[in-house]
Amino acid sequence: MNNERTYRPEWVPEEESKEFATTYVKKNDEPSVPSSGRKRFAKRKERSIAEYVEGVLNNDRTILAQAITLVESNAAKHMEMAQQILNKLLPHVGKSVRIGITGVPGAGKSTFIEAFGTFLCENGHRVAVLAVDPSSSITGGSILGDKTRMENLSRDPRAFIRPSPSGGTLGGVHRKTRETMLLCEAAGYDVILIETVGVGQSEFVVRNMVDFFMLLALTGAGDELQGMKKGIMELTDAVVINKADGDNKPKALAAKEEYNQFLHYLRPATPGWETKAYTCSALLGEGISEIWKVVEKFVETTKKSGVFEMRRRNQLKDWIYSMIKDYLETSFFSHPQVKENIPIIENNVISGTLSVTKAVQELLQIYENKKVSE
């Protein structure tokens, strides 16, 4: 039996029929074509590389979703296949505007993406929504949890929503999200929105894969401006104060002024672009079109100055090195002898019988010797 369609995205309401726009293919499932229904063909036929490439280029959503599943798989066989597909698609990538959106939980990121994405679709764009969510291995991904926030967008055939790849290191998530973004570009999505929760390192990771980075903020700028938010502000191309509606509107406007005064003294995240604060109401859809105008202006300015291309080139370089680092780190810490010796060496360091440098040398020696004799 073909049970492919039983995997419904969670954000589709219970009573909905099968007309939802996004196709959710269960993670790590063998990518496949529908089975013929005959028992002895229980192991379904795999698509060829050419079928994947053609399917993605034709924006066949099922094939796109399955190609993403390949990219997200940690199985060597799938990885190899995914790389071949990506290589064939490379001439068709890079033509989108890549936008990162961050903000504390509850800032309204999902509501904003619903409003912004819908606005873009209505204005002739095709929008892919991805997420980098460091907590997704526990929660299953914030987008998946958004049963209602992106209801319209998830049904819109011009939009494609994919939850954060779960599990693995941040470096692994980085690679998977970047490659997913490339697949979406090859499928013709011209605006890519990447949501991330304002926790830990994920802002830096997302900043490094997008053209335009936006911080969704709330009122009470004074409190936020203290402490860690400053670091994030230095990455942003726009601060958008959301929930500028009802009683909150005057406060939002005051916060905008405060942010603008503060931003004035910061080094801009993008050379030649002045980061400013704006207000909007994602809930009412107010100020959304103005924010798109800001993005358009940004793209125009940075393309003219060459900063746009330069950033993309630097991001590619950064990607090479971050992948190497990620590979080495995983390889080191998953090495059986290293794993075995770490607690012993750690103890020796803590009890004062071994210096840190010596400990590291010993572990590296174990790793490197083992590598040679393997």
Ligand X SMILES: Nc1nc2c(ncn2[C@@H]2O[C@H](COP(=O)(O)OP(=O)(O)OP(=O)(O)O)[C@@H](O)[C@H]2O)c(=O)[nH]1
x/- map, 273-292, ligand X, by CB under 6 A: --------xxx---------
For residues 133 and 164, the answer to whether their CB atoms sit within 8 Å is yes
Asked if residue 281 binds Mg ion (CB under 5 A), the reply is no
Q: Which of residues 334-373 bind ligand X (CB under 6 A)?
A: none
Asked if residue 174 binds ligand X (CB under 6 A), the reply is no
Q: What are phi and psi of 198, to 5 degrees?
A: -75, 70
Cβ within 8 Å of residue 294, ≥6 positions away: 238, 278
| Alpha carbons 35 and 360: distance in angstroms, whole number | 52
Q: Both tokens of residue 33?
A: 């074509």
**Binding segment (CB under 5 A) for Mg ion, from list 58-66, 140-148, 205-213, 288-296:** 140-148
Asked if residue 229 binds ligand X (CB under 6 A), the reply is no
Name which of Mg ion, ligand X, none residue 198 binds, using a CB cut-off of 5 to 8 Å depending on partner kind. none
Nearer to ligand X, 114 or 185 (CB): 114
Q: Which residues of 243-275 are buried (b: 16+ CB within 10 A; e: fewer)?
A: bbbeebeebbeebbebbbebbeeeeebbeebeb
| Alpha carbons 282 and 324: distance in angstroms, whole number | 39
Nearer to Mg ion, 109 or 176 (CB): 109
Total interface residues for ligand X by CB under 6 A: 17
Q: Which of residues 95-114 bind Mg ion (CB under 5 A)?
A: 109-110
Asked if residue 242 binds Mg ion (CB under 5 A), the reply is no
Alpha helices in 73-218 (DSSP H): 76-89, 109-122, 136-139, 142-145, 151-155, 170-186, 202-207
Asked if residue 131 binds ligand X (CB under 6 A), the reply is no
- Please report how close the Cβ of residue 247 comes to ligand X at its closest, in angstroms: 9
- Please report how close the Cβ of residue 145 comes to Mg ion at its closest, in angstroms: 7
Question: Which residues are 159's β-sheet partners?
Answer: 127
Nearer to ligand X, 142 or 164 (CB): 142
- Please report how close the Cβ of residue 173 comes to ligand X at its closest, in angstroms: 16
Residue nearest to ligand X (CB): 108
- C-alpha pair distances (Å), 76 with each of 86, 88, 169, 293: 15, 19, 17, 43
Nearer to ligand X, 11 or 298 (CB): 11
Q: Strands of 159-161's sheet, edge to edge?
A: 159-161, 127-132, 191-197, 97-103, 212-217, 238-241, 276-279
Asked if residue 163 binds ligand X (CB under 6 A), the reply is no
Residues near Mg ion (CB under 5 A) are 109-110, 142
Residues near ligand X (CB under 6 A) are 103, 105-111, 142, 149, 197, 242-243, 245, 281-283
